[in-house]
Amino acid sequence: HGANASDLRVYNYRRVGRELAPGEVVTVWADPTIQAAVQADDAASLVPPGAFSIGPPQRGELVNGVALPELSAYVLRFPNSAYGTTHAVRATVAAVTSFRASSSYAGELRIGAMSRQRGGPMGGHASHQSGRDLDIRLPLRAELPQRLHPKAHRVDWLATWRLVQAFIETGAVSRIFLDYKRQGRLLRAARAAGVSEAELERVLQYPRGWGADAGVVRHSSGHKGHLHVRFGCADYETECVE
């Protein structure tokens, strides 16, 4: 229900003492913005409930922002800007965990900006205001020094495809932004690995034109070296705007 021991004492202070006994019947008030976000699995338990988005990504705010947990699966480049909604942060943890478990990629995943703890404008970004945008550097080939700039010839494009798939499979992603020409590299790597044409068409805008209303992955200028993942609104985020 998203209530802790202190909450239970407050809800039941007239009927119970300072200590709760096993089997005691108590009253719980369930905040829908928290209760709907509570999950039981281990990965989700790393991320507290109760963080939600108000407004659109470009003019919104983040309420009760939760931080991306520090995990060995990735590197947080900007911890002070690594806050998001419970929905988005849990999906990020799930996607990266799935990617690491299902791929053989041994290089670093470097996570850039998400949002500030309370959202709002953030220098250098038009969006990232409501806890639903995440930048993640394109995975470099594992044998290269991981500090290098992600130029196209240094990127592990098959690993990038697997990472894109992992995010989409969470069901929480509305768009992923990547430069149109870079999408061509992504398509060729996925096709060489045997990915079906139907799946390529479902995921990628390329080769239908940079302005085509098609695919989850869309062109956006300034996104040659990183993926910009945009998460949708959770059902309980009643003031969130896609």
The rounded distance, in Å, linking the Cα atoms of 105 and 146 is 13
**In the chain, what are the domains?**
1-30 (no CATH), 37-231 (3.30.1380.10)
Structure confidence at residue 113 (pLDDT):
97
Structure confidence at residue 33 (pLDDT):
55
Diameter over CA atoms, the chain: 68
Structure confidence at residue 36 (pLDDT):
56
Token pair, residue 189, equals 């790597």
Better-predicted residue by pLDDT, 85 or 18: 85
Q: Which residues pair with 54 in a beta bridge?
A: 61
The rounded distance, in Å, linking the Cα atoms of 228 and 88 is 13
| Residues 6+ away with beta carbon under 8 Å from 77 | 110, 111, 112
**Is pLDDT above 60 for 64?**
yes
What average pLDDT does this structure show over 162-168? 98
Q: What is the pLDDT of residues 100-112, one digit of tens each?
A: 999 999 999 999 9
The rounded distance, in Å, linking the Cα atoms of 93 and 103 is 15
> What pTM, to 2 d.p., does this model score?
0.84
The rounded distance, in Å, linking the Cα atoms of 232 and 173 is 6
The rounded distance, in Å, linking the Cα atoms of 58 and 110 is 23
Q: What is the pLDDT of residues 25-35, one digit of tens each?
A: 877 766 665 55
Structure confidence at residue 38 (pLDDT):
54
What average pLDDT does this structure show over 103-123? 96
Structure confidence at residue 77 (pLDDT):
97
Q: What is the pLDDT of residues 2-51, one digit of tens each?
A: 566 777 777 777 766 667 677 778 777 666 655 555 554 556 667 889 99
Q: Report the SS3 class of residue 176.
A: strand
Structure confidence at residue 158 (pLDDT):
98
Instruction: Give me the percent of the chain exceeding a pLDDT of 70.
Output: 88
Structure confidence at residue 12 (pLDDT):
76
Q: Tell me which H or E stretch contains 83.
A: strand 83-84
Confidence of residue 197 (pLDDT cuts 50, 70, 90): very high
Structure confidence at residue 191 (pLDDT):
98
User: For strand 226-231 and strand 110-111, is the pairing parallel, antiparallel, or unpaired?
Assistant: unpaired
The alpha carbon of residue 57 and the mean position of all alpha carbons in its chain are separated, in whole angstroms, by 13
Q: What is the pLDDT of residues 70-84, one digit of tens each?
A: 999 999 999 999 999
Q: Report the SS3 class of residue 153.
A: helix
Burial class (CB in 10 A: 0-12, 13-18, 19+), 192: exposed
Q: Report the SS3 class of residue 32.
A: helix
Structure confidence at residue 41 (pLDDT):
54
**What amino acid occupies position 169?**
E
